[in-house]
Amino acid sequence: MSDGADYLKYVTERVVSYWETPKTPEIRRERRQKREPWVSRWFGQLLPVGLGIWWNGRKAAHSGSEMQDMHNLTEHADYS
Give Cα separations from 36 to 48, 49, 53 (angstroms).
Answer: 13, 15, 20
Per-residue b or e along 27-53, where b marks 16 or more CB atoms closer than 10 Å to that residue's CB:
eeeeeeeeeeeeeeeeeeeeeeeeeee
pLDDT in tens, 20-40: 887 777 777 777 777 777 777
pLDDT of residue 44: 77
Q: What is the pTM of this model?
A: 0.30
**For residues 57 and 36, which has the higher predicted lDDT (pLDDT)?**
57
